Amino acid sequence: MKSQLKKIAIVGASGYSGEELVRLLLSHPHAELTAVTSRQYAGQTLARVFPRFASHPRAKELRFSEPKPELLAKQAGLVFLALPHGVAAEYAVPLLRAGVTVIDLSADFRVKSAAVYREFYGHDHPAPELLAKAVYGLPEIYRAEIRKASLIASPGCYPTSILLPTIPLLKAGLVRPAGIIADSLSGVSGAGRKAEREYLFVECNESARPYGIPKHRHLSEIEQELSFAAGTPVIIQFTPHLIPASRGILTTLYLDLKKPFANAAEMFVLTGQISECYQKAYGREPFVRLLEGKELPDTKNVVGTNVIEIAWRLDPRTGRLIVMSAEDNLTKGASGQAVQSMNLRCGIPETAGLV
Ligand SMILES: NC(=O)c1ccc[n+]([C@@H]2O[C@H](COP(=O)([O-])OP(=O)(O)OC[C@H]3O[C@@H](n4cnc5c(N)ncnc54)[C@H](OP(=O)(O)O)[C@@H]3O)[C@@H](O)[C@H]2O)c1
């Protein structure tokens, strides 16, 4: 049985999304974690650095190592990069050259244009020749492409929470591509496991604040993917907020309808069309929970799971469609979604290790 397991490595396994990958992969029925890297913890076992995994036998033997692409290429057939943007590409290039499949959780390969990357990330793209090769790792939208990809760019946490609710509506022509507004609330783990004053407990606890306005970096991939869905350039208004929670993202979207409704009968028809649109897109998706009754999304329902909850309401007073989503930024918004892509790429059940 052991020989059938896929050999998997994680570069940047000591960060928040790396730790979440470790959690998912230690208990994955088709994966064997063969290498985990961290410069600061090199030489220490997983069990020592993350005592919560200590009861897993593999955590007692597997030690963090320095990230060395040539060694990783011998240890694993698929490598997750849970590294800061800019750094991830440095590892992706030699790993791909060595024939390893790469799933990158950073922003390095999410946008197709090197000029857009430079505009939003403030430096030249380290490997622009790979941008066309990369597949955007949103399984519900790019499942067929992910199955064949050697470089998978896993989406950002905010983008996942905005794209999954919006893409089906744009594709169906139910909402206008112009004037989309997205407000998102995120837990502090979204900023990574780094010690910076603005993320200290006393700075974040009992505080809620916007940031990254008006041009958060994630807009680059959000607008790219919404433009693909709409078939026309899309620019949105996006305001992220930091809230005093460890994990979870709640997003509220305000959308203008293509054909506004004038009365209750037209609203009834539109309600049916929106419901049908979402059912068609996600009715059979294992990780999208459509809330069609009175329920509304709540991060407490999804934290620690790979599920995104989506609900919507038509507002007869403003004539707008309000769509809400909730996900765990570290799971569906990062590592869970990346494992979902790994499952697709490796030809194993898409839900393996995630339910
Ligand atoms: N946090 C989220 O909610 C989230 C969601 C979606 C996507 N992402 C993306 O996923 C990536 C990782 O995010 P994170 O939040 O997990 O970050 P993090 O907690 O800060 O962890 C970063 C990891 O990278 C390693 N690292 C940092 N600089 C490195 C370098 N120059 N060379 C080799 N290793 C290096 C660190 O370990 P050592 O310093 O010990 O080597 C650590 O393991 C980022 O690109 C982020 O944008 C994060």
Smallest CA-to-CA distance from 148 within 133, 160, 132, 159 is with 133
**Do residues 249 and 187 make contact, with C-beta atoms less than 8 angstroms apart?**
yes
Contact 315/306 with Cβ under 8 angstroms?
Answer: no
CA of 171 to the centre of ligand 1 (A): 33
87 within ligand 1 shell (Cβ under 6 A): yes
What Rg do the C-alpha atoms of the chain give, in angstroms? 20
Ligand 1, pocket-test mutation among 63, 83, 199, 339, most atoms within 8 A of CB = 83
Show the CA angle centred on residue 181, arms to residues 174 and 322, nearest 5°: 55
State whether the beta carbon of 192 lies less than 6 angstroms from ligand 1.
yes
Summarised one tens digit per residue, pLDDT across range 281-302 is: 999 999 999 998 999 999 999 9
Q: Which two tokens stand for residue 321?
A: 């469609």
Question: What tens digit of pLDDT does each residue of 151-184 get?
Answer: 999 999 999 999 999 999 999 999 999 999 999 9
| 105 CB near ligand 1 (under 6 Å) | yes
Q: Give yes or no for residue 153 CB within 6 A of ligand 1.
A: no
> Rounded to the nearest whole angstrom, what is the distance from the C-alpha of residue 148 to the centroid of ligand 1?
26
Whole-number average pLDDT of the chain: 97
Closest residue by Cα to atom 1, ligand 1, is: 190
Kindly indicate the confidence band of residue 4, based on its pLDDT and cuts at 50, 70 and 90.
confident
Q: Average pLDDT, stretch 261-275? A: 97
Residue of the CA atom closest to atom 25 of ligand 1 = 12
Nearest CA to 30 out of 60, 62, 2, 59 is that of 2
What pLDDT shows up at residue 2? Answer: 45
d(CA 299, CA 250): 7
312 C-alpha to center of ligand 1: Å?
33
Look at residue 304 in the predicted model and tell me its pLDDT. Answer: 98
Bridge partners of residue 254, in order along the sequence: 181, 322
- The answer for residues whose C-beta is within 8 angstroms of residue 193's C-beta and 6 or more apart is 14, 15, 16, 19
Digit-coded pLDDT (tens) for 54-78: 999 999 999 999 999 999 999 999 9
Q: What tokens appear for 182 in the block?
A: 């997205």
Q: How would you class 254 by CB atoms within 10 Å of its CB: exposed for 0-12, middle for 13-18, buried for 19 or more?
A: middle
Count the residues in the chain: 355
Q: Whose alpha carbon is nearest atom 15 of ligand 1?
A: 192
Please report, rounded to a whole number, the percentage of residues in the chain having pLDDT higher than 90: 98
Q: Is the pLDDT of residue 1 over 50?
A: no
Cβ of 76 below 6 Å from ligand 1: no
pLDDT tens-digit profile of 186-240?
999 999 998 999 999 999 999 999 999 999 999 999 999 999 999 999 999 999 9
Distance 250 CA to ligand 1 centre (A): 22
C-beta neighbour count of 120 within 10 angstroms: 18
Q: Cα dihedral sign for 52, 55, 56, 59?
A: positive
Which atom belonging to ligand 1 lies closest to the Cα atom of 247? Answer: 3
State the Cα–Cα distance between residues 232 and 178, nearest whole angstrom.
10
For residue 107, give the ligand 1 atom closest to its CA. 45
Pairing of strands 181-186, 249-256: antiparallel
Q: Is the CB of 222 under 6 A from ligand 1?
A: no
Q: Is the CB of 65 under 6 A from ligand 1?
A: no
SS3 content of the chain, % helix, strand, coil (to 5): 40, 20, 40
| CA 19 – ligand 1 centroid, Å | 10
Task: Identify the active-site residue in 157, 204, 277, 346.
Answer: 157
- Distance (angstroms) between ligand 1 centre and the Cα of 185 equals 21
Give the mean model confidence (pLDDT) for residues 238-248: 98
DSSP three-state, residue 249: strand
67 lines ligand 1 (CB under 6 A): yes
- C-beta separation of 330 from 16 below 8 A: yes
Binned at pLDDT 50, 70 and 90, residue 37 comes out as: very high
284 lines ligand 1 (CB under 6 A): no
Q: Token pair of 224, please?
A: 């790219």
- Closest ligand 1 atom, CA of 14? 43
Residue ID of nearest Cα to ligand 1 atom 32: 87
Question: For residues 199 and 215, is the Cβ–Cβ distance under 8 A?
Answer: no
Pull the structure tokens for residue 44: 């220490």
346 annotated active-site: no
**What is the distance between the alpha carbons of residues 249 and 298, in angstroms, rounded to a whole number?**
9
CA–centroid distance, 12 to ligand 1, in Å, is 6
Cβ contact 249:163 at 8 Å:
no
